[in-house]
Amino acid sequence: MRRDYFLDLWVIIATDRAKRPSDFIKAKVAAGPQDCSFCPGMEIKTPPSKASYFADGALCHMADEPGKPPRTGWTIRVIPNLYPAVESEDVMLMDGRIMSASGVHEVIVESPSHDRHPQFMSGEEIKRLFTVYRDRFRDIAKIPYVKYISMFRNYGKEAGASLAHAHSQVIALPIVPKRIEEQYRLDYGPVIAKESASLRMILNTEHTVAFAPFASCFTFEAWIFPKRPCSNIAELTDAERDDFAVVSRDVLSRLSRLLSDPPYNYAFVQSVSDDMHMHLRIYPKLGIEAGFELNTGVHINSVTPESAAKSLREI
């Protein structure tokens, strides 16, 4: 059994259940772009964009204008979620246990190409996507009642993706979830220094390090840290953000090649204003949380992080 670096979270590394990477590969049914509301030419099927990005020289972005046709020719498009979990409204406290679900829920359509997911993107494409992440974080963080901005991606039906077109989501909340608050003021410097030289290291560049965490809850889980502590993606320099983006793409690409493009979730762990070492966590969806995990909160991982990192380094 292994414990998290800081938190009282445990995982069972069940080596008797150990599998080879090929054992996790499952047959997939390709989902085509037929009638996809996120594809170019279908903009009228979505709410007006809050920002459309155009790669014409310097990257610029503009929102759709009320009463005019939606903008076309975009490379990335940011739209309100048609079925939002939260609504843009002032926070209302009803009593100590109930409040209005105030916030922002956006979809980032990452590419005009239906299947251009991050693991398949060029360097310039992934840098552009992470620049949009920065822009959306900056804009949403200006809303007074927003306390936390969750930026995440679901890939594949098993990971919760209801649409196949390449997209991420942003949900801003008027509270800080306890799981995030527990990450505040933790010094990941010694962890990064140790993991950079450990058997769990996957990639190590000038500004970024990627490794399989010591107590990996999920098989082939990976964490990606900028080496310089920053509370959120908006605090990274352009060079740091670009390097962080490319390393993230490279880890996803290695997972795709090793495990035949598995479903996955990824999510940024970051803060609007509190002290935190922002990072990205990648969770391949290779199994399900069953009764034991739901009952105890303790995960069972059948592949050691050291073995997972070795496979990802060598692919």
- What are the pLDDT digits (tens) for 49-92? 999 998 764 566 778 888 888 888 999 999 999 999 999 888 77
Mean pLDDT of 3-13: 97
Mean pLDDT of 90-118: 90
Query: CB under 8 Å to 119, separation ≥6 — which residues?
Result: 249, 252, 253, 255, 256, 261
Structural domain contains residue 31: no
Q: Residue 231 burial by CB count (10 A; 0-12/13-18/19+): exposed, middle or buried?
A: middle
Name the nearest CA neighbour of 249 among 81, 122, 74: 122
Contact 109, 232 (CB under 8 A): no
CATH number at residue 94: 3.30.428.10
Structural domain contains residue 26: no
Separation of alpha carbons 152 and 175, rounded Å: 17
Residue for token pair 């769990």: 200
Q: Is the pLDDT of residue 17 over 80?
A: no
- What are the pLDDT digits (tens) for 156-185? 999 999 999 999 999 999 999 999 999 999
3-class secondary structure per residue, 118-174: HHHCCHHHHHHHHHHHHHHHHHHHCCCCCCEEEEEEEECHHHCCCCCCCEEEEEEEC
CA 123 centroid distance within chain:
17
Query: CB under 8 Å to 288, separation ≥6 — which residues?
Result: none
Model confidence, pTM: 0.94
Structural domain contains residue 24: no
3-class secondary structure per residue, 277-297: CCEEEEEECCCCCCHHHHHHC
- pLDDT at position 64 is 84
Structural domain contains residue 29: no
Structural domain contains residue 32: no
CA 24 centroid distance within chain:
22
Percent of the chain clearing pLDDT 70 (strictly above) = 95
Mean pLDDT of 188-205: 98
CA atoms within 13 A on the CB side of 208: 26
Quote the domain boundaries for residue 126.
8-18+38-314
Structural domain contains residue 213: yes
- pLDDT at position 66 is 83
Tokens of 168: 């991420």
Mean pLDDT of 227-236: 98
- pLDDT at position 118 is 98
Q: Is the pLDDT of residue 23 over 80?
A: no
- What are the pLDDT digits (tens) for 285-296? 998 889 999 999
- pLDDT at position 14 is 93
Mean pLDDT of 190-206: 98
Tokens of 36: 């996809």
Mean pLDDT of 92-99: 79
How many domains does the chain contain in total?
1
Structural domain contains residue 46: yes
- pLDDT at position 84 is 95
Q: Is the pLDDT of residue 259 over 70?
A: yes
For residue 170, what are the β-bridge partners? 106, 151
Mean pLDDT of the chain: 93
- pLDDT at position 60 is 67
Structural domain contains residue 209: yes
Mean pLDDT of 258-271: 97
Mean pLDDT of 275-290: 95
- pLDDT at position 71 is 86
More confident residue, 173 or 33: 173
- What are the pLDDT digits (tens) for 133-145? 999 999 999 999 9
Q: Is the pLDDT of residue 16 over 90?
A: no
